[in-house]
A and B are shown apart, each in its own frame.
Chain A
Amino acid sequence: MHIPDGFLSNPVMVTTNAGALVTLGAAVKKAKGELEERQIPLMGVTAAFIFAAQMLNFPIIGGTSGHVLGGLLAALLLGPNAAVLVMSVVLIVQALLFNDGGIFALGANIINMAIIGSWCCYWLYRWLAKLCRNETIAVAISAWLSVVLSAVACALELTISGVVPLLVVVPTMAAIHAIIGIGEALVTVAAFAFVKRTKPELVRG
């Protein structure tokens, strides 16, 4: 769901880039006090995993494909602030080195996939985990939501840019990503369980 250059209007580009910049600045400040020495290598592994997962598209129905975003998994492993930064590093490298996502659309892509898909959905997960008292179900639902909400945010940005009407793009993007989100939920549950089992001391939960 990386938005390329040319899709967004100038006001949307300016707003999303400014919003992303301010939020990342806040995340740097917050992550500074939180990050423990032993989590640093995990940041590298998480970044590698997210980049890899996003390269591997799987087919869904109707001649469409999708890939895992990894935002919620990153937040579960590193905490929401460091996760937003790792997600953003991946998005920036994807845009600069691989033309995956536009240069001027970077702010929008960071908002959709890092800030909404990782940071916001982490707090959603915390709330859900309390509500349903089952960690696995909370992980699955919030991983699924992270993809759907990122897609809805992307659709809204396109609508505000005047590219496509709201009632056309929001339901379609949400429906397609509701299917892709199932893959996200499965991979997130499996990967989180794997790390918890092999390195329980690293998981922030």
Chain B
Amino acid sequence: MRQNRWLIAIFAIALLTIALLPFASNLPDGLERVAEMFGFAEREQQVYYAPLRDYTLPRLESFVGQAVAALVGISIVSGLALLLGRALRKVNRKDD
């Protein structure tokens, strides 16, 4: 039951994100804007091609692609953070 509550919280965050995605801005962010303003944007190099580049699926650059990217990203970061938490927990577990 308690475990379910946490999963529901993560699922709620994912749903809310997908609902808000159509309203997210595509404008350049602060650093991108500064790089354009002062002419160093072209220094950017692609040394590595990530599977879900720019938060979309390679051949599905639509809302669906973004929604899948959000789901994948949220699942992976929360899964890794949970594993990290388990690895880091206090060692004295006598009272469990």
Contacts and interface: CB of A to CB of B under 8 A. Distances in A.
Interface string A37-49: 1011111111111
A141 to B, nearest CB: 20
Contacts of B51: 97
A172 interface: yes
A44 B85 contact: yes
Contacts of B45: 4-6, 102
Interface residues of B, number: 59
Interface stretch (A15-23, A58-66, A119-127, A128-136): A58-66
Given A37-B93, A57-B24, 14 more contacts: A6-B45, A37-B90, A43-B84, A44-B82, A56-B17, A57-B29, A85-B84, A86-B81, A102-B45, A163-B40, A164-B40, A172-B37, A176-B30, A177-B30
16 contacts: A7-B40, A28-B88, A31-B88, A47-B81, A50-B77, A57-B26, A59-B25, A63-B33, A64-B33, A66-B29, A85-B84, A86-B81, A89-B81, A98-B52, A154-B31, A164-B40
